Structure 1
Amino acid sequence: MAKHRAIPPGFLTVGEVAKKTGVTVRTLQYYDKEGLLSPSAESEGGRRLYTDKDVVTLHQIISLKSLGFSLDDIKQRLISLETPADVAKALTEQADDIRGKIQQLTASLTAIEQLKAEVLQMQTVSFKKYADIIVNLQMKNDSYYLIKRFDDETLDHIRNQFDKESGLNFMDRFNCLSDEIVQLQKESAPPESEKCQQVVKEYWDLIMEFTNGDMSMLPKLMEVGNIGTAANAWEERQKIVNDYLEPALQIYFSKLGLNPFEEVKR
């Protein structure tokens, strides 16, 4: 670090930099201590002196910090500003970071608007359900609105039965199987056909996996699955699945010689 008797032209004191950039002197001292931004020179009286280049670097730090990066992350991302290409690279990276932040904020705004719509449709205040809906929105689980149709006991079962990874895996398999069923319906495949009965078996196995074999949950699932007027694309698809599966399930259970839904009613 160069030393100067007085403050030469082109240098700024720590106070001047703080005033110019809107950060505190204490913050600049902290950045110096952490090796993030050190002054380029020092007067013989011990005053820290910064250059315009230091100010540009400080703006890099401020910008990255506003995007949520930690100081350790920022230290790794700071780019040398020796050439126009260096400056352009720094600006390009900051622009990319800002675009990423805009995408995150847009997704968050969408999730908040979706949550607001769901909350207004619910008849009672349930912070457990709100929390579950928020988690599923963050996971981009398209069937998140099913949560509001489950009672607290069923939601507790789901929380105990699935974690984030296994829950998403289950819904992926459920949705893929539902797509297969919709395709069978489009092909007018008879419910008694081998292809249809194989899909029905897989569907029933998923239900047993979901309930963990607890047959007392079936009436609740039937109530949740009973869709009158579809309010969205997922419900429209599920209505097709339900209508197509009803006779196919009857055939499947008839072959097994049992009807679990009748068993539960007794």
Structure 2
Amino acid sequence: MNKYKAIPDGYMTVGEVAKKMDITVRTLQHYDKEGLLSPSAMSEGGRRLYTDKDIVKLHQILSLKHLGFSLGDIKNRLIPLDTPAEIAAILAKQAASVKQKIDFLSESLRELEVLREEVLQMQSVDFKKYADIIVNLKMKNDYYWLIKHFDDQTLDHIRSHFDKDSGKAFISRFIQLQDEAIRLQNASVPADSDEGQKFAKAYWNMITDFTGGDMSMLPKLIELGQFQNTDLIWKEKQDIANRYVEQVLGVYFSRLGIDPFQEETK
């Protein structure tokens, strides 16, 4: 009982303040330690004592913390400010920071939802592929979904030969050549024409750059337009492109006197 009589009128203990403001005693102790909100007095027994004025200041701290400000921001950047313009500038900066976090979380949510769909379609647990899909989502690669169709050999090859920049460059080059193949096919450009063979050379150079001379990778590239359960628009485009690619490469290899597919099977 003596302990409670030692609390003067108009003062509250740390426990009473914590209960009143719906926070923990440890939080108040931390604010005191950080020099953000020290008690107005100490009891004879060494207990922290707070006043209504402290409660008002605590309310301000909690409100600013709710807006995402750190304790350091509140103590060192906000409280020392003197003019509305200065405070408004800090609030605007904080708003920009919050928006950036929202954008990041929104993108993370999109990636989670996409990855979930990919996992269900894969019908297997493969965290290496999950990681590759996430990386490609972060790269804004619209063809991230192709990853689930590749085998481990192909993915290991891609991981060892391409980084973020070179990977994006290759995808861009591949899509550009596929679109060009569709244009040439629709325009009925002969496979043995100069234009057709110029394209064949560019396409074959792309393939050799990808394989690094490993001809065992060839079938994997040929299968790009033949995967099951792929996007119908993608598959339709690949069917058109592949028809033309097969024609021009047939002429190209014949003129060179080579058959890389036969060499690969040896």
Query: Normalized against structure 2, the TM-score is what?
Result: 0.73
Offset from partner CA, 1:42-96 (integer Å, 9 cap, x none) = 447675774745643443334326xxxx877x57995455444444444444443
1:103 aligns to what? Answer: 103
Structure 1: gaps (5+ residues): 1-5
Judged with a 3 Å threshold, the aligned counterparts in structure 2 of structure 1 residues 78 and 194 are, in CA distance, closer, same or farther, namely: farther
Alpha carbons 1:230, 1:239 under 8 Å: kept:
no
Amino acid at match of 2:151: D
1:222 aligns to what? Answer: 222
2:68 aligns to what? Answer: 64
Q: State how 1:133-152 maps to structure 2 within 5 Å.
A: 133-152=133-152
Task: Give the C-alpha shift of residue 130 in structure 1.
Answer: 2.1
Alpha carbons 2:17, 2:55 under 8 Å: kept:
no
1:211 aligns to what? Answer: 211
1:194 aligns to what? Answer: 194
Task: Give the C-alpha shift of residue 259 in structure 1.
Answer: 1.8
Alpha carbons 1:230, 1:236 under 8 Å: kept:
no
Q: State how 1:81-100 maps to structure 2 within 5 Å.
A: 82-100=82-100
1:113 equivalent to 2:117? Answer no
Offset from partner CA, 1:133-171 (integer Å, 9 cap, x none) = 222223222111111111122222222222333322322
Amino acid at match of 1:143: Y
Amino acid at match of 1:112: L
1:26 aligns to what? Answer: 26
Within 2, Cα distance between the matches of 1:261 and 1:195? 24
Q: CA RMSD in A?
A: 3.7
1:39 aligns to what? Answer: 37
Q: State how 1:225-244 maps to structure 2 within 5 Å.
A: 225-227=225-227, 231-244=231-244
Within 1, Cα distance between the matches of 2:198 and 2:130? 37
Alpha carbons 1:18, 1:28 under 8 Å: kept:
yes
Identity score, percent: 49
Moved more, 104-113 or 222-231: 222-231
SS of 1:141 mapped into structure 2 = coil
Q: How many residues align?
A: 252
SS of 1:39 mapped into structure 2 = coil
Judged with a 3 Å threshold, the aligned counterparts in structure 2 of structure 1 residues 20 and 232 are, in CA distance, closer, same or farther, namely: farther
Judged with a 3 Å threshold, the aligned counterparts in structure 2 of structure 1 residues 24 and 190 are, in CA distance, closer, same or farther, namely: farther
Task: Give the C-alpha shift of residue 118 in structure 1.
Answer: 1.6
Amino acid at match of 2:163: D
Moved more, 142-151 or 228-237: 228-237
Over 6 Å off, 4+ runs? 11-14
Moved more, 177-186 or 112-121: 177-186
Amino acid at match of 1:205: N
Amino acid at match of 1:141: N
Alpha carbons 2:32, 2:39 under 8 Å: kept:
no
